[in-house]
Amino acid sequence: VNAASMFREVTMMFIRIGGLHYQDPDFLERFQRVIYLIIAAVFLHQGSLSRVSIDDKGTCAKVTFGLPPLYHNDDPARAVKCGMMIRDHVRPMRLKANVGITTGTVFIGYVGSTTRGE
């Protein structure tokens, strides 16, 4: 634990995109469009895209609101607006965005070793 480590309240948003199947021939094009939409919405609402994964649960993203230096008193509301924007923008692509949002206190700091850490 270093001097820059802290505990603070953040809002996490988890997004699962339904309807994207990696076996589809146009998967990469659609996946890229969805990721661009997510990045644009997160940037607009001043959050941080923490992770994108494709696994047995589908295409998922983890977004954080309240990480330094981008923290605001209304981060939970920003997360809701961001999630609604993503949902509305993937709908015309015949995709579905399942969004979950939670707020709580987390540890922020470097964890791990010099070879594997985050």
Nearest to 76 by CA among 110, 112, 46, 102: 102
CA distance 66 to 73: 9
Q: Print pLDDT tens along the chain (118 aa).
A: 555 788 999 999 999 999 988 888 999 999 999 999 999 999 999 999 999 998 888 899 999 999 888 889 999 999 999 999 999 999 999 999 999 999 999 988 877 777 776 6
* Per-residue model confidence (pLDDT) at position 50: 93
How many other C-beta atoms are found inside a 10 Å radius of the C-beta of residue 73?
A: 8
* Per-residue model confidence (pLDDT) at position 117: 62
What end-to-end distance do the CA atoms of the chain give, in Å? Answer: 12
Q: What is the pTM of this model?
A: 0.87
For the chain, the domains span 6-108
Q: Classify domain 6-108 at the CATH class level.
A: alpha beta
Peptide bond into 69 cis (omega under 30): yes
Distances in Å between the Cα of 17 and the Cα atoms of 82, 86, 101, 110 are 14, 10, 15, 29
